[in-house]
Structure 1
Amino acid sequence: MNIVVTNDDGLHTRGIWKLAEALCQVGTVSVVAPDREQSGVGMGISFHHPVRVSEAISRIEGVKALLVEGTPADSVILAVQGLTPKPVDLVVSGINEGANTGINVLVSGTVGAAFQAHLWDVPAIAISVATIKDAIFEPAAKLAQILAGMFRDKVLSGPMLLNVNLPNVPLNEIDGVEITRLARGRYENTLEKIETAKYDYYWVARGKADWKVEEGTDIAAVRQRKISITPLHIDMTSSVATPLLNGFGKEIYQAFRGGL
């Protein structure tokens, strides 16, 4: 089994190597990751400049490591299209220090890398620990190893995308596994204006989050010290709005033609 490991925090972070070490027990691992932190870039791709790739010193004997001057999605594209052994059977992104729950999946580079693999019909896992410092990576690494083994043994199959979040507690304090949905909510973004002689600059930062933490959501599970596994897919079509709009297609077209 050929496994690509990536992240959005960069090749030199602790979480990615904990993950790679665990996955070596399941298959042949290649680490392909950005050369710097890429948090918040989502599925962004470097369209307007070339992406440089260099071989890096691996922390694990026998594991190929590539340093990418680009995004997590760039890293996955390069890996899947020829820089790692083919076929790529699984992409695992993480271990991220910080939860990727709720609407965070729309901007997360960790999840964005997994989505990019999903576009290529490659099974993918994004895995994160719910803390911004002093992450306990061992439970996440063990879980990734278990899930990868399930893909290897065809217990799980097909182009599945799993977004996994763990509470930041030792293994013996985790209180179960729950298959969840994304929590709904939003952030209060803040703007900081900096004036100079020539330009005005703005720092955009995320402020306080307003979550609807309902039972069955990823955030609720993590707060209950459970592992959250949320199956995701790329189809963003609204099942609510589609039937409401279906009856208006002819009316919209007639109004459109009437203006010609």
Structure 2
Amino acid sequence: MKILISNDDGIHSAGLWTLASHLDAIGQVTIVAPDREQSATGTSLTLRHPLRVGKVASHIGGIECWATEGLPGDAVILGLERVMEKPVGLVVSGINNGPNVGDDVLISGTVGAALQAYLRNIPAVAVSTFNIESNNHETPARLAAIIAADIAAGRLSGDIFLNVNAPDIPLDRIKGVRLCHLAHKTHIDTVKEGHDGRREFYWLMRRKLDSEAAAGTDIKAIEDDCVSVTELHADLFRKSPMPGLEVLCNEWFGRLTSSSVSR
């Protein structure tokens, strides 16, 4: 199975390379990612400027790596349409440092990159860890490989778009892999004023609302030391999950905490 990896933290992100090292055991991995950090760009695409793509040195033997100008969604489109030979069996975006839960999926470049695969009927997985300064990428990378192995084995359909968030704790403290729905009305954009000595300026600030996480949501799962798995759709707040996905989440937890990942 051919696997495309991208992200919104840029080609030099540690999480991207940890993810690649785990997925390399599942299929033929190619990396096509932005040449710089592009967080909070959501589903934006570059439509009014040309884009350049350049091959760069890979940290892992056997994995081709390309850096692109533009946005995360651009990188996935270029990877699928120009860099890789078809068919591509899976696109994984991440591992993002910082959560992509609740309303934040609407502005997430990590999720926006994966969306471009889903729109082309290619299985898509967005993967994040909950701490913006996290170095704990092993747990989400390991789970991504488990999910990829099940996609390769045909246990999940092509019409799948998963958003995975892992708490920033060691694997032996993870209490489960929980199928969730998106928390709603979790963040709001506010404005901070400043002055540079000549004129006023404004910063847009992303602020978390002080509300208790509802049962069944991705944020509640993280608070309970569980990995959250949310099935996304073009209509993001659709409630009914794919049949059998909750059973798979329970099984994934057992495999996540075991000693090996099988194809």
TM over 0.5: yes
> Following the alignment from structure 1 to structure 2, what is the Cα–Cα distance between the partners of residues 86 and 149?
19
Give the Å deviation of 1:201. 3.0
Number of the residue aligned with 1:18 = 18
Number of the residue aligned with 1:181 = 181
SS in structure 2 opposite 1:202?
strand
Number of the residue aligned with 1:151 = 151
Give the Å deviation of 1:190. 2.9
Deviates more, 1:191-200 or 1:56-65: 191-200
Q: Which structure has the larger Rg?
A: 1
SS in structure 2 opposite 1:184?
coil
How much is the aligned-residue C-alpha RMSD, in angstroms? 1.8
Give the Å deviation of 1:187. 2.6
Deviations 1:132-151 (A, max 9, x none): 11331111111011000000
> Following the alignment from structure 2 to structure 1, what is the Cα–Cα distance between the partners of residues 163 and 106?
12
Give the Å deviation of 1:193. 3.1
> Following the alignment from structure 1 to structure 2, what is the Cα–Cα distance between the partners of residues 175 and 141?
17
After TM superposition, the score normalised by the length of structure 2 is 0.86
Deviations 1:218-250 (A, max 9, x none): 0001110111100010135999xxxxxxxxxxx
Identity %: 44
Query: Match of 1:60, as an amino acid?
Result: I
Counterpart contact for 1:181–1:230, Cα < 8 Å: yes
Number of the residue aligned with 1:164 = 164
After TM superposition, the score normalised by the length of structure 1 is 0.87
> Following the alignment from structure 1 to structure 2, what is the Cα–Cα distance between the partners of residues 122 and 111?
14
Number of the residue aligned with 2:83 = 83
> Following the alignment from structure 2 to structure 1, what is the Cα–Cα distance between the partners of residues 30 and 85?
8
Unpaired runs of 5+ residues, structure 1, are: 240-260
SS in structure 2 opposite 1:229?
strand
Give the Å deviation of 1:87. 1.0
Query: Match of 2:67, as an amino acid?
Result: L
Counterpart contact for 1:218–1:228, Cα < 8 Å: yes
Deviates more, 1:131-140 or 1:187-196: 187-196
5 Å matches for 1:199-218?
200-218=200-218
Number of the residue aligned with 1:42 = 42
Number of the residue aligned with 1:112 = 112
Deviates more, 1:184-193 or 1:135-144: 184-193
Give the Å deviation of 1:100. 0.5
SS in structure 1 opposite 2:5?
strand
